[in-house]
Copies of this chain bind each other. A is one copy, B any other.
Amino acid sequence: MSSDENNLGTCPVDRGLMRVGDRWSMLVLRDIERGLTRYEQLRTSLGIAPNILSRRLSALVETGLIEKKRYSQRPPRDEYLLTDAGRDFLPILMAIGAWGRKYNGAGTLSRHLDAATGKAVRPVVVDANTGAPIGSRPLHLEIPG
């Protein structure tokens, strides 16, 4: 693990990846956002083994990205919903999607359209201070002493 108390422990990227740093977790979040909130829906959509899905879901619940909510008593049925933390992660998935489209996007892919304008969303990471895309201005890394 890199979660020692060295300089890596001070890296926010590391902190983020501690909670969602695997493929399945991210794909689960993506699918929940799509409206696939139930176990069986997720399993068939992802093509994931049931034990793995169970484990991922409990891990995501435990780390507070999703929550399990009973929406029917009889029959007992639960659905998995995004928490604030989970919802906040979605833009990152969009950014990953934009990157995947650019560099691994052969064929037709699904995309998000702005509901108002109907235009395809083009996710870009910018600095909220300047509005400039990350990478367009020189940065400096500050490491706490």
A-side residues, CB < 8 A to B, are 1-2, 4, 6-19, 21-23, 26-27, 30, 34, 45-48, 64, 85, 87-105, 107-117, 119-131, 133-135, 137-144
Secondary structure of the A contact surface, majority rule:
mixed
Task: Please state the number of chain copies in the assembly.
Answer: 2
The complex places the Cα of A63 from the Cα of B126 at a distance, in Å, of 26
Residues in chain B near residue A14, CB distance under 8 A: 27, 100
The complex places the Cα of A129 from the Cα of B109 at a distance, in Å, of 19
Contact of A125 among B30, B94, B105, B143 (CB under 8 A): B94
Residues in chain B near residue A105, CB distance under 8 A: 12, 15
Decide if A115 touches B139 in the complex (CB within 8 Å).
yes
| Most chain B beta carbons < 10 A, residue from A21, A64, A91, A131 | A91
The complex places the Cα of A122 from the Cα of B113 at a distance, in Å, of 25
Decide if A110 touches B30 in the complex (CB within 8 Å).
no
Decide if A142 touches B110 in the complex (CB within 8 Å).
yes
